[in-house]
Amino acid sequence: MSALYQAGITGLGAYLPAKVLTNFDLEKMVDTTDDWIRTRTGIRERRIAAKGQKSSDLGLEAAKQALQNAGLKPADLELIIVATITPDMLFPSTACSIQARLGAACGAFDMAAACSGFPYALAVSEGLVKAGLYKHILVVGAEMLSSFIDWKDRATCVLFGDGAGAAVVSRLDHDSGHGVIASYLGSDGNQADILQIPGGGSAHPPSEETLKQGLHFLKMQGAEVFKVAVRTMEDAVHEVLRRADLELKDVDWLIPHQANIRILNAVAERLELPPEKVYINVDRYGNMSSASTVVALCEAVSQGLVKKGQIIVLVAFGGGLTWAANVIKW
Ligand SMILES: CC(C)(COP(=O)(O)OP(=O)(O)OC[C@H]1O[C@@H](n2cnc3c(N)ncnc32)[C@H](O)[C@@H]1OP(=O)(O)O)[C@@H](O)C(=O)NCCC(=O)NCCS
């Protein structure tokens, strides 16, 4: 069935907290070295939210920029989707907080797809806009991983950072010649335990015991996650291109979730994509979960790297497990 309308990104924004935490800072906090972190992950520094900041604060700034970039007002928004696994609180949603503070009058909900959050939310908004249900949807990826990291666990605390990105997804004319061409979503809940925050929900409600066991912190089996990330991101790119009726040679930019430079290099190598077609900022921000892909897209566009008419593939992988990809003609 062909869609009634086309859906495209008409505005982008990003907000990175001012505080920079370098690998050298981490050397003073845990038993690690700048050399280990750089060679194993490609990360040099990451941003950390200020005391008192929360995910909605980061998301709000990115959202304001995206609206301005789209030339829209909050009143033009008909829906707000916030992808986050580090919400302000379990409920109300971080999306409702952003809706209120923007002064928008529309529906709002959070989506939890971990690091695949932005491509997941983009796929949902693509569907809603193409079906003719909404004209303008704000999609935000906002994360404050620093609140859920065990700062004594060197295996995880070196990897993550805080930040937010936002995109306005709007209805376009069918013959506009650009927009989101295809999306693909995947999951495998059987592997939930290799990447999770086990405590604080109904499975392990907060108690002295869960606090003692540190169940409120992010837990990860790094080597296992690494292998699955490479495989699923490669597969997701193939599948989304198949759905878009395109081939790898048509891709101008791969904008992947920024987890680890070795994961990105391995994916690019398997896809036989040259490094100059892969946008990388993991060195500056680390892994910002659902904010990663949208911040990377925003940077690539604002730096003028992405040109009108080019084919962009977003791809991500994360806890759930989840994975997702979108093809956009810019
Ligand atoms: C975490 C990761 C960087 C570890 O790299 P690796 O090459 O797999 O390293 P290993 O896990 O084999 O660890 C090697 C050693 O380094 C140690 N190590 C772990 N973290 C360290 C750190 N920050 N500094 C120094 N040494 C560290 C380990 O304890 C281990 O020591 P041992 O051999 O004495 O047990 C890598 O597995 C990874 O990036 N995985 C994916 C993580 C990810 O992207 N998660 C989010 C997905 S959305």
- Could you please report the per-residue DSSP string of 176-200? SS-EEEEEEEEE-GGGGGGEE--SS
Instruction: For residues 152 and 223, state if they share a domain.
Output: no
Three-state DSSP state, 295: helix
Residue nearest to atom 17 of ligand 1 (CA): 155
Cis peptide before 92 (omega within 30 of 0): yes
Domain boundary among the residues 172, 187, 218 is at: 172
How many whole angstroms from 89 Cα to the centroid of ligand 1? Answer: 30
Q: Does residue 230 lie in a domain region?
A: yes
CA distances from residue 285 to 56, 129, 151, 152, 295 in whole angstroms, order as listed: 18, 31, 17, 20, 10
**What pLDDT is stored for residue 3 in this prediction?**
76
The CATH number covering residue 316 comes to 3.40.47.10
Q: Does residue 138 lie in a domain region?
A: yes
Domain boundary among the residues 130, 156, 172 is at: 172
Instruction: For residues 220 and 318, state if they share a domain.
Output: yes
> Is 1 a residue whose pLDDT tops 70?
no
Which ligand 1 atom sits nearest the alpha carbon of residue 259? 44
CA distances from residue 92 to 70, 96, 203 in whole angstroms, order as listed: 27, 7, 19
> Is 2 a residue whose pLDDT tops 80?
no
How many whole angstroms from 35 Cα to the centroid of ligand 1? Answer: 13
> Is 315 a residue whose pLDDT tops 80?
yes
Query: Which of the residues are catalytic?
Result: 115, 257, 287
Instruction: For residues 86 and 224, state if they share a domain.
Output: no
Q: Does residue 1 lie in a domain region?
A: no
Structural domain tally of the chain? 2
Which ligand 1 atom sits nearest the alpha carbon of residue 32? 24
In the chain, pLDDT over 70 holds for what percent of residues?
99
> Is 154 a residue whose pLDDT tops 80?
yes
**What pLDDT is stored for residue 173 in this prediction?**
87
Domain boundary among the residues 125, 145, 172 is at: 172
Q: What is the C-alpha separation between 245 and 284, in angstroms, rounded?
A: 34
Instruction: For residues 14 and 146, state if they share a domain.
Output: yes
- What is the identity of the amino acid at 280? I
DSSP one-letter code for 153? -
Residue nearest to atom 44 of ligand 1 (CA): 259
For 22-30, the CB contacts below 8 A with 24+ separation are: 23/158, 26/157, 26/158, 29/151, 29/157, 30/151, 30/152, 30/153, 30/154, 30/157, 30/158
The count of C-alpha atoms lying within 13 angstroms of the C-alpha of 148, restricted to the half-sphere facing its C-beta, is 28
Mean pLDDT over residues 3-7, rounded?
88
Contact 7, 135 (CB under 8 A): no
Q: Tell me the pTM.
A: 0.97
Residues contacting ligand 1 via CB (< 6 Å): 32, 36-37, 40-41, 115, 154-155, 158, 220, 222-223, 225-226, 229, 259-260, 263, 287, 317-318
Residues 6+ apart with CB under 8 A from 17: 47, 48, 49, 50, 53, 58, 162, 163
Contact 169, 136 (CB under 8 A): yes
Contact 151, 30 (CB under 8 A): yes
How many whole angstroms from 79 Cα to the centroid of ligand 1? Answer: 40
**What pLDDT is stored for residue 33 in this prediction?**
98
Domain range for residue 293?
179-329
Instruction: For residues 164 and 259, state if they share a domain.
Output: no
Instruction: For residues 242 and 209, state if they share a domain.
Output: yes
Instruction: For residues 87 and 33, state if they share a domain.
Output: yes
**What pLDDT is stored for residue 241 in this prediction?**
98
Q: How confident is the model at residue 197 (pLDDT cuts 50, 70, 90)?
A: very high
- What is the identity of the amino acid at 70? A
Instruction: For residues 150 and 295, state if they share a domain.
Output: no
Instruction: For residues 133 and 200, state if they share a domain.
Output: no
How many whole angstroms from 226 Cα to the centroid of ligand 1? Answer: 10
Q: Does residue 87 lie in a domain region?
A: yes
Instruction: For residues 163 and 204, state if they share a domain.
Output: no
Contact 319, 196 (CB under 8 A): yes
Instruction: For residues 201 and 160, state if they share a domain.
Output: no
Instruction: For residues 76 and 216, state if they share a domain.
Output: no
